[in-house]
Each structure stands twice: as structure tokens, then as C-alpha cells.
Amino acid sequence: YFKAWEYFLLKPTQFYDENETNKHQKSIKQLNDVVNEILSKRDMNNNCLFINSLLNALNNQQITKEEMNQCILEMLIAGTDTSSVTMFYFLLALSDRNELEEKLLKELKDNSYQTLTNGLKESMRFKPVGPVIMRCAINDDIDNNIQIKKETNIIINLVDMHRKNEYFLLGNQFNLINVEDKDLSNTNNEKNVFLPFGIGPKECVGRWLAKIEMEIIIEKLILNYSFKRANGTKTLEELQTRWDIAQQPTHPGYMLIQKR
């Protein structure tokens, strides 16, 4: 499905290949069939808040059937790669920063989570697994004397924006000082310079779930294990990435894990 998403969204229509197009359309149909099966088998006596809230929105004409299906599909398949890669980046950063790891461990033992929260934020800033935000102009517009035609694809480069020193003190370094004592939530972030989950009505629907999942998993790992970067594995700063479902490392990375 992700390959189909990438194919239809990023590839100009004049370069479509008939066989590849049919293959991607088939995969989309198969997943849509799964979504329809979930809806048909739902237990009306079971308080499934997510699906029921979508059905209520559909009945009230707040969303379309296609939009409802897309929300269910995203809950089924989205988030695994993005969360796991972000946690890998954070653990890799910790493996070379003994003082930061000790500080994090001490705070977690005291049921304090500030360093954990900031560490995950800094990981998403320094190496955003979603490196771009893509939107389509719904109307003709002019921005900074640049004419934007309706249906123009607009790509926001998060990798570049997240590294700008005008927004982050040490933009090209992994350092928690970049996110400490800052409210980077979308509602208070006037310049919208930290957008790992996107922004607006189309921001990541699972952002809070992903945040909680990563915090719980990292807490359990750090309380029970220590991590050291293995020989031959590049540091977080040296690590090269490539575009895939999420912005993935180009080569495997290994760490030595020792029980505390």
C-alpha cells in the first residue's frame, strides 16, 4: 500500500506503467476490502469508540465514506516504521552519550520524564522519519509574490527546516538544548518550525498514540538495559538515510545491549 501511495502521489501521470499501475490498484483494493470487512463485522454491542465516532461523523455528513475508510486504514497499517525508527535514532544517540543516558536513567527511576520527552523530540527534529509534508493547493494563491495555481503540489522540507540555527540553537547537532524550555506544540508554535507529525487537519492521526508508545517502550528499555554502539555502526550524526515508508538508515545499525 505504501508503495502504491508513493507511486500515485509522487510519480507524474505521463510516466505511469500499465502493469505497475494495475499492481498498485490491486493492492489498494485488497486493503479496502479488509476495511469493509472490519466495518461489516463490527460488534454493535461493543463500545468501539474509534469506529463509532467515525460512523457518527459519516451519518452527520461531517466526513465522506472514503475519508472514513482512510482513517480506519491508517490505524491498521500506519505508525510502526516511523515509531521504531525514531526510537532507534534515540537509542543510538544515547549509546554515545553516557552522561545523557545516566541522567535519563536517574529521572526515570524518580518517575520524571522531561529528558525522555525532550530526547524523543530532539530525535524527531534531528532525523525526522517523515522528511517532507506534502499538500495540494485548493485555490489559486500568491505567497511572497510567488503565484501558486490551484492543484499545485506543495512540498515542505522538514529536514532543512528542522536544522535551521535561526530556530534551533545547535541545529546541526543532536543536543537537547535545541528543544529544552520550548513549547513546540502546534497550537503554541507560532512559526510552525517543528512539525514531525505534520500540521493542520491532515496531521498524523496517531500522533498522541505514537508519543505514548515510544515513551513507554524507551522507559522500559532504559530501566532494564544499557546500550552501546557496536563497532562498524555509524554514529547518529554520520548515519545516512534514504526515502522509504519512513526515512530509513541506508545500512543496518547494531548496538550492544547489556542487562542492568
Three cell numbers at 82? Answer: 516511523
Compute the distance between CA of residue 193 and CA of residue 167 in angstroms, rounded to an integer: 7
Q: How many CB atoms lie within 10 A of CB 131?
A: 18
The span from the CA of 64 to the CA of 70, in Å, is 10
What is the C-alpha end-to-end distance of the chain, expressed in Å?
A: 40
136 is in an annotated binding site: no
Distance (Å, rounded) from C-alpha 161 to C-alpha 140? 25
Exposure of 111 in the CB half-sphere (CA atoms within 13 A): 0
Give dist(CA 117, CA 101) in Å, integer.
13
Nearest to 74 by CA among 200, 213, 207: 207
CB 129 within 8 A of CB 117: no
DSSP-derived letter for residue 178 is G
Burial state string for 197-226 with b = 16 or more CB within 10 A and e = fewer than 16: bbeeeeebbbeeebbebbbeebbebbeeeb
Cβ atoms 195, 158 nearer than 8 A: yes
**To 5 degrees, how large is the angle CA 146–CA 148–CA 150?**
170
Residues at the binding site are 204
Residues at the binding site for heme are 204
